[in-house]
Structure 1
Amino acid sequence: MARVTVFTLGGTISARGGDASRMSGAEVLAELGVAPAGVDVELRDFRRVPSSTLSFEDVAALADEVGKTVAEGSGVVVVQGTDTLEETAFLLDLLCTTEEPVVVTGAMRRPDLPGADGPANLAAALAVAADPGCRGLGVLVVLADEIHAARFAHKAHTTSVATFTSPGAGPLGSVVEGVPRILLRPAVPARVCPLRLDPDVRVALLTLSLGDRGELLDAVADRHGGLVVAAFGAGHVPAWFVEPLAALAERMPVVLASRTGAGATLSDTYRSPGSEYDLLHRGLIPAGPLAPAKARLLLHALLSSGARGPAGYDRPRISAAFAHFDGAGLA
């Protein structure tokens, strides 16, 4: 039998009504009824919190436990709330080296509501985690019978059970009659080099909006080790933002992402003040296709893993890591 270890962290799938109480991991598994045939399930009741409460310390501890578990030959399913599911999945993808399937799932409807989706999502996740054909895909997100790569997965709706999409890529496959069907495979692994997660590292995320004057930049300079800017369009900021960002880029890595939610940042299409060309030539680092929240996590892991020091930060290494996700390869 295939062995799958289930780590339960809480979330909607374990909610008892609308208050703060949570079911245990054993109770969540009991809602499933019977595990898929041929799957030996081991339970780890890891946390019982809403995913909005999860911390870097929680995810670092989870990554450590997942790493030990897959080293023993077990597939893994992580069950948590959907609010930060895409971020947990991406961090696990960066931190864990494994060929074994690691799947993150959850639910959009509480167990006491009509059409609760938790049991179906858990069954599909177990099927994927137990399937040898799903090895080597990196960390996966499985909900609504769709299989998404963690690097692309995005929660795109507040309530829909089909909330998870993969903008610009699409799902890797689906679960049909309890059997995973993989149609696509990522071109490169997510883990670009040995990475760890230091909870004490601070990376800011600043999302621009019309009329923004940059007041929040003052809070970044002395409190953070890096910054991700969720800019307009393909990587554009107001002209008055350029000099403050360039000054910050001399002191810390400043990554240029897009707030749009899909598509890669550009590099050479527009050349006016505040354009992507202007910003990249002033030291900012392109996020490529990574969404701002995931760009922040990658930068956090890089800074946690030695891409900084008393002489400044290792810009070539950080740039190469982001280029890896853009299909340009790792230098």
Structure 2
Amino acid sequence: MFSLRVLPFFLVSFSVMTMSPVNARAADMQTTQPQTALPRVLVLATGGTISGKADARSAIGYDAGAVTGEQLIAGVPGVEKLARLKVEQISNIASQNMNSQVWFRLAERIHEAFARNEADAVVITHGTDTMEETAFFLDTVIGESHPVVLTGAMRPSTAISADGPANMYEAVKVAVSPQAHNRGVLVVLDDTVHAARWVSKTHTTALETFQSRNAGPVGTADPANVRFFGPPRIEVRLPLPQNHLLPKVEIIYAHADMDAAQIDEAVKAGARGIVIAGMGDGNVSQEALAGLDRAVKAGVIVVRSSRVGDGFVNRNVEVDDDQHGLVASFDLNPQKSRILLQLLLANGRNRPADIQSVFGAGY
């Protein structure tokens, strides 16, 4: 059974006091508070642009995952005054290479850290290309009240105006804020706090690439304050599959003059689910819709999402979902729809009506 958790959002302001450094490079600095007064933050590094170094192949070329988590933290002035930091390298890859096995390692390490009282909060450094997918996966399988925050960068650590140090500082600051508890997994970049369910990368290179589609950000962060705001939200939580396996679910992009070839091939290849990145509010051509009918008859779960980026995909608008046995994604984009469908199928939820009830929770 999945559970729904109502998380209150209200306007608050939190300023972090000056606290003592804890790492070796700051051992000789004067302190104003004892070390034990600092919250404990476990930093799980996975790679990405925030850990990247410039490459001479072009003016903006770089290699992701070239810097370790320890080196990254060492380049963030003042972060040691916010918390006692412990860094662990989970992976060191570009985020286009992110995969479900890293997701499972992250989820299990987070569960372990909180169960053993090793940390008061967790910060994950991550590449931006798939950050929203990792955040959504963790948000769905982690039911902890402790803060879990993802951050990254749009420019590598060696860039003239690297954004990674500021993002890392603010991510730790959000993580140690008492008001960050019970808010699910958060994403912090560019002075903005986002909820995992709604955040998306919207620009290839801009610093403000992350936007919270349909809902807006849940807070802001700067060197002086962390502020949260917004209405309550409902969060879906599912058990983490014990076998570390997620079923095969394909995303198929809809377009003009679309046939059913990719749909039929996905069924032949053993897909248990198909997510359509549909036109408009999740539409496909009549030929493709016939292919989806064949997929449903073969026992494949089909979710209609949209390639547009903003707005909801509701049931029974231009497509009769009841007649065709389809699931509407509501606010979830194709990549998040795929993850939720994978987790539902992995937990034995394989009836379209049952799956629809989870996609539509709160709507």
TM-score (norm 1): 0.90
CA–CA separation in structure 1 for the residues paired with 2:65 and 2:308: 36
Identify the residue that residue 241 of structure 2 maps to in structure 1. 196
The secondary structure found in structure 1 opposite 2:81 is: coil
CA–CA separation in structure 2 for the residues paired with 1:75 and 1:120: 18
Identify the residue that residue 328 of structure 2 maps to in structure 1. 286
Residue type of the partner of 1:238? S
* Alignment match of 2:272 (pick from 200, 211, 225): 225
CA–CA separation in structure 1 for the residues paired with 2:128 and 2:305: 23
Identify the residue that residue 193 of structure 2 maps to in structure 1. 147
Question: Quick check: 85-94 or 8-17, which moved more?
Answer: 8-17
Identify the residue that residue 70 of structure 1 maps to in structure 2. 114
The secondary structure found in structure 2 opposite 1:81 is: coil
Higher Rg of the two aligned structures: 2
Q: Give the Å deviation of 1:185.
A: 4.7
Identify the residue that residue 105 of structure 2 maps to in structure 1. 61
Identify the residue that residue 134 of structure 1 maps to in structure 2. 180
| Alpha-carbon RMSD | 1.6
The secondary structure found in structure 1 opposite 2:332 is: coil
Q: Is the 8 A contact 1:5 1:76 kept in 2?
A: yes
Identify the residue that residue 44 of structure 1 maps to in structure 2. 88
Q: Does 1:306 align with 2:352?
A: no
Q: Give the Å deviation of 1:304.
A: 1.2
Q: Give the Å deviation of 1:246.
A: 1.6
Identify the residue that residue 253 of structure 1 maps to in structure 2. 301
The secondary structure found in structure 1 opposite 2:71 is: helix
* Alignment match of 1:167 (pick from 199, 203, 213): 213
Q: Is the 8 A contact 1:106 1:118 kept in 2?
A: yes
Identify the residue that residue 78 of structure 2 maps to in structure 1. 34
Q: Is the 8 A contact 1:93 1:150 kept in 2?
A: yes
The secondary structure found in structure 2 opposite 1:48 is: strand
Q: Is the 8 A contact 1:242 1:279 kept in 2?
A: no
Q: Is the 8 A contact 2:82 2:173 kept in 1?
A: no
CA deviations 1:10-50 (Å, max 9, x no partner) are 11111122246611111000110221634111111111111
Distance change (3 Å), C-alpha of 1:49 and 1:57: same
CA–CA separation in structure 1 for the residues paired with 2:218 and 2:266: 37
Q: Is the 8 A contact 2:315 2:327 kept in 1?
A: no
Q: Give the Å deviation of 1:186.
A: 4.3
The secondary structure found in structure 1 opposite 2:230 is: coil
* Alignment match of 2:127 (pick from 81, 86, 101): 81
* Alignment match of 1:96 (pick from 134, 139, 142): 142
Identify the residue that residue 3 of structure 1 maps to in structure 2. 40
Q: Whose relative contact order is higher, 1 or 2, with alpha carbons under 8 Å and at least 6 apart?
A: 2
Distance change (3 Å), C-alpha of 1:21 and 1:168: closer
CA–CA separation in structure 1 for the residues paired with 2:332 and 2:68: 34
Q: Is the 8 A contact 2:51 2:67 kept in 1?
A: yes
Distance change (3 Å), C-alpha of 1:268 and 1:158: same
CA–CA separation in structure 1 for the residues paired with 2:212 and 2:164: 20
Q: Give the Å deviation of 1:217.
A: 1.1
CA–CA separation in structure 2 for the residues paired with 1:186 and 1:252: 34
CA–CA separation in structure 2 for the residues paired with 1:146 and 1:201: 34
Q: Is the 8 A contact 1:146 1:174 kept in 2?
A: yes
Question: Quick check: 96-105 or 10-19, which moved more?
Answer: 10-19
Q: Is the 8 A contact 1:82 1:155 kept in 2?
A: yes
Distance change (3 Å), C-alpha of 1:257 and 1:4: same
Q: Does 1:319 align with 2:363?
A: no
Question: Quick check: 197-206 or 125-134, which moved more?
Answer: 197-206
Distance change (3 Å), C-alpha of 1:60 and 1:3: same
Q: Does 1:206 align with 2:248?
A: no
The secondary structure found in structure 2 opposite 1:9 is: strand
* Alignment match of 1:265 (pick from 290, 313, 316): 313
Q: Give the Å deviation of 1:178.
A: 3.6
The secondary structure found in structure 1 opposite 2:104 is: helix
CA–CA separation in structure 2 for the residues paired with 1:13 and 1:61: 20
The secondary structure found in structure 1 opposite 2:235 is: coil
Identify the residue that residue 16 of structure 2 maps to in structure 1. none
Residue type of the partner of 1:227? I
CA deviations 1:65-106 (Å, max 9, x no partner) are 112123325201000111111100000101111111100000
CA–CA separation in structure 1 for the residues paired with 2:356 and 2:277: 17
Q: Does 1:117 align with 2:163?
A: yes
CA deviations 1:227-276 (Å, max 9, x no partner) are 1111111122212222221221231211111111111112244xxxxx32
Identify the residue that residue 234 of structure 1 maps to in structure 2. 281
Aligned residues: 314
CA–CA separation in structure 2 for the residues paired with 1:267 and 1:76: 37
Percent identity reads 33
Distance change (3 Å), C-alpha of 1:176 and 1:63: same
CA–CA separation in structure 1 for the residues paired with 2:112 and 2:231: 25
CA–CA separation in structure 2 for the residues paired with 1:265 and 1:21: 36
